Structures are given as structure tokens and as C-alpha cells.
Structure 1
Amino acid sequence: MKKATSLTVQNTAINLKRINSSDFLSLTDIARAKNPDEPKDVVKNWLRSRQTIDFLGLWEQINNPDFKGVEFDSFKSQAGSNSFTLSPTKWIENTHAVGLVSKAGRYGGTFAHPDIAFEFASWISAEFKLFLIKEFQRLKQDEIDSKKLEWNLSRSLSKINYRIHTDAIQAYIVPKLNPSQINFTYADEADLLNLALFGITAKQWREQNPDKQGNLRDYASVEELVILSNMESYNAEMIKQTLPPQQRLVQLNDMAITQMNSLTKHEPKLTSSTLKIKK
């Protein structure tokens, strides 16, 4: 399911942008509910209020360690006077604020963190704010439900490929073992995959997470489950080629790092999900 980039409140379309892991809402679009012709003026009038400056300053002090308090105090002392004017760009540039983002151009406008967007909506209309909050909550719940569906599908695919993996173990490894070794072999091969992808064995995970139910794969991300599914098929083929465990571990880890980098679009880090095995 494609991530939503807008929502509609009382026939007003409101665009969203993903900024610093948060969904920022367009204040310019929200302002159209009050003045469709000059939404920028609505935002500027809101910024003239002493109450608005107090709220923005408090939000930045809580959430932004680089916020410039001296510049904020200057705006605060002037706010509310007839001569005081303030644009989003001026506020951002002078105080290094992060709760507002202002972009020029066709798809630009002023965007705000949800905390601030809801405060602005309250200034527009208490009714509009209530419907905005409800619509935003619905959007977030839809995303959660979609993520759960993706996770369940990935987990199911992983379990299907697990059968391919165990069949290869049974056909190519088990016949070479004595009866006392067989039960440990399946667990060892599962931990080979765990080490390559998560950097930890099932036993180590249980020892580090005594309060959690299930196993480490139950807490894997969708990306990790997709990679795990691919790794099970790949390891099955390497088992058929009679490659030794250590060689398979290195190749599986290289595969995990490459695919994680591709799926998440960032440089691999030395974390549990991208641990580089020493060769």
C-alpha cells in the first residue's frame, strides 16, 4: 500500500511531507479553510500573535537543542504589537526552528509538525481542528494496518521458504549424521541464518530479552523478513553444493548486507541486522 501524501478535512485537501521521520502537514493548505484566496496571509497573521510565539518557542525548547533562545526572546517581546510582522521563513532562519518548514515553488508552502499544525487548526476553527485530528489518526491507523499486513505476508513467505530450507538439510546433511546429531542440525542451520542477518543466535536473543514472547524473528522488520526468505532459498542451494557452514555464513552475511542496503536505501551499519561476519 502506497503511503498517503494528503488527507481531506471538510473538503479541504491537506498535503503531507515526510521530514525527519515525522509527517509534516501543510499550514498553507489548512489556511485555505479560512481564506482560499490568500492562505499565506492567514499563516502570517497567526504568527503575529503572542500566544503563537509562546507556543512555538516552547515546542522548540522541548524538541530542538539548537533553538536560538535570544532571537526567540526578541520576537516574543514584539509579538502582539500593531507593527509586528513575522513570516515562517524569518522565524526559521532567525531561531533555527525545526517545527516549521517553508518551501518555495509550485509544490511549496509552509509545513508544520503535527503538534504545531493542530495548534494552527485550532486558531482556524475548533471544529476544523477536531476533524483534522480524527482524519490524521485514521491515516496513521491505516498505515499501521497496512504495515501489519505486509509483515504477515513476509512472515508467511519466510515460513514457506523454511520448508525448502529444511528439505535441503534433510536430503544433504542429515544422512551424514548419527542420530544424536540430527536434532541439533536444524537448530544450527536456523542459527546460521540468524547470525548472518541479525548477528545473534536464538539462544543469545532469549537471554538478552527474557521478558519478550516468541523468538527474534517475530520482532523482525518487513525488510528483514524479506531478506530472511531469500536467504533460506540461497542457503538451501549452497547446502546442495555441500559448501561448509563457515563459507555459507560469510556469503549469507554479504547477501544480507547488500539486500538491506538496497531495501532501506542507506549505507549498511554495524547493527544486529547488518553485522559483518569476520572472514
Structure 2
Amino acid sequence: MKNKVKILEVQNVSIAVVSSNNEDDYICITDIAKTKESDSRAADIIKNWIRNRATLEFLGTWEQMYNPNFKVVEFDHFKMQAGLPSFVLSPGTWAEKTNAIGIYVKLGKYGGTFAHKDITLEFCSAVNPIFKLFLIKEFQRLKEEENSNKKLEWNLQRTISKINYKIHTDAIKENLIPISLTANQKNFIYADEADILNVALFGKTAKEWRNENPNEKGNIRDTATIEQLVVLSNLESINAMLIQQEIVQQERLIKLNEIAISQMKSLINTNTLGKLK
């Protein structure tokens, strides 16, 4: 399989991107880690991130969605150890033991730890959420150049939201839905939880938005700005974690709203944000 390496310049930082013949893109998260610490500390940042339970849940979900050869038993073993002070995990070990395809380590020129574009965004959310926004815009520009002769229907943020949504609904299913509920009742709980995110970020439910905008096509999230989509994907992962911690819905809503306000302020107040519009 022939791989092509391209370099993205994001906020004066060079980020290596490897594109294969099957059109999968892998981005160097080692380069991204260097935006927070020195070169020598980048590997430690990645190891600390990957050993986190929420990260392992995300990686495991992604692999089960896209990798038929993923070793679920090994994944469960790592997940059981997550949170223990003695638990240590590197990207290389993760890939080797679970047969994962979402992360790999590349040696030589343009070497480092590379992650699929979906996983890269999750890494950015944890390490440098502001940088994530600029990376999305620059990566979209790259894809537009590659697809200049045809309409581009690909959206990086929508891609990551699909995975976050599955993690979110899995957390609801495992922690909030009694076995005795009917299918219609279960669907109500999913919609109710989705509206928690809507209220936390947009200040209204999907139904309230529809009543206020009867002539609009789509739904409340289809009209979201790029900044709101970035925050929304972060809130989905955070809410899944809060559900697993058995935090009641009202407390989760307050916490999610505080996080949404904080992250939106950070994005909007970024001095160079205007360059992205």
C-alpha cells in the first residue's frame, strides 16, 4: 500500500499527514503533543492520554466499528486496568496487543505516533481543544484541494460526532435503561439525553427550536457553527463519562452547560479566530 506524506501548517506548527490508497488519513499526534510540551515530553503526553479509561472506551468503540480483526478480549483486559496507578500503556503496545488499526507508530523520516483522523480529534479535545479548531479548518482545506474537481461532501467534525454519538448511546443503554422498558420508552430516553446536550449548548430543546423555526430545514444541530460542533463533540464524550459515574441528569446538565460556556468563550476569544471565517 502506497502512502503519501503531506505537511499541514497549523498555527505555525508542522503536522504530518499520511494518506493511503484507500483514502484513510492518519495525522501525527506526536506533532500535536509538541504544541503543549517540548519534543521530549510529547511521548509522555500520548501515553498519559491513551491510558485514560475514557480514551480506551473511545478507541475500543472506534475499532469495533471499523476493524473486524480487533481483539476485544485484549481490549477488555486493558479497560479493566485503566485507572490503576500501576497501569502503563503505549500506542505501540495497544496496536500490537489488540490488533488495532486506528493508531500506529512510524519510524524514520516524519516518524511519530499517527492516529486516524477521527481519533486525532479526540486527542486534540483532551490535549489542546483550541488547536483542534484550527486543525479542522486546515484539514478541510487540504481535502478541498484534493477534491477540487468534485463536490466535497466530507466533514471531519460530522465524522467524529458519529463515533461520539455511539459512545453516548452505549453509556445510556448500559446505565440508564432498565431491561423492562419498551422500545418506544428506550427511544424516549435517548432523545431526552440528546436534548440535555442541546440545552447545555444551544439553550433550548430540539422541539423548542423547531417551534421557533418552522420554515427551517433540518434540525437544531444542522444550523450549528463550526465552533458549536467542536464543543458538541466534546460534550458527547463528557456526558458519556458522567453517565458512567452515575451522576444524576440535573447535575450533569449544569456541569455540561458550564463546560459549553467555557469552551465557547475560549474558541470565540481566540485572537486569530477571524482568520478561519
TM-score, scaled to structure 1: 0.50
Q: Please give the secondary structure, in 2, of the residue aligned with 1:86.
A: coil
- Within 5 Å, give how 1:71-110 maps onto structure 2: 71-110=74-113
Distance, in Å, in 1 between the alignment partners of 2:33 and 2:128 is: 10
Of the three residues 12, 21, 31, the one matched with 1:29 is: 31
Question: Cα deviation per residue 1:76-117 (whole Å; 9 max; x = unaligned)?
Answer: 011122111101110000000001111223432111110000
- Within 5 Å, give how 1:111-190 maps onto structure 2: 111-145=114-148, 147=149
- Within 5 Å, give how 1:257-272 maps onto structure 2: none
Q: Please give the secondary structure, in 1, of the residue aligned with 2:8.
A: strand
Question: Cα deviation per residue 1:8-66 (whole Å; 9 max; x = unaligned)?
Answer: 22221100112342111001111111112321111111111101000000000000000
Q: Please give the secondary structure, in 2, of the residue aligned with 1:5.
A: strand
The alignment-based identity, stated in percent, is 54
Amino acid corresponding to residue 134 of structure 1 in structure 2 = K
2:5 and 2:18 in contact (8 A); partners too: no
Q: Which has the larger radius of gyration?
A: 1
Q: Please give the secondary structure, in 2, of the residue aligned with 1:101.
A: strand
How many residue pairs end up in the alignment?
146
Runs of 4+ in 1 over 4 A off after TM superposition: none
Aligned to 2:16: 15
CA RMSD of aligned residues (A): 1.8
Distance, in Å, in 2 between the alignment partners of 1:86 and 1:106 is: 24
Instruction: Note closer, same or farther for the CA distance 1:78–1:4 as it changes in structure 2 (3 Å cut).
Output: closer
2:70 and 2:99 in contact (8 A); partners too: yes
Aligned to 1:49: 52
TM-score, scaled to structure 2: 0.50
Distance, in Å, in 2 between the alignment partners of 1:95 and 1:15 is: 25
- State whether structure 2 residue 32 is matched by structure 1 residue 39: no
Runs of 5+ unmatched residues, structure 1: 149-279
Distance, in Å, in 2 between the alignment partners of 1:69 and 1:131 is: 34
Instruction: Note closer, same or farther for the CA distance 1:139–1:106 as it changes in structure 2 (3 Å cut).
Output: closer
Instruction: Note closer, same or farther for the CA distance 1:126–1:107 as it changes in structure 2 (3 Å cut).
Output: closer
Aligned to 2:266: none
- Within 5 Å, give how 1:234-273 maps onto structure 2: none
2:6 and 2:16 in contact (8 A); partners too: yes
Question: Cα deviation per residue 1:161-219 (whole Å; 9 max; x = unaligned)?
Answer: xxxxxxxxxxxxxxxxxxxxxxxxxxxxxxxxxxxxxxxxxxxxxxxxxxxxxxxxxxx
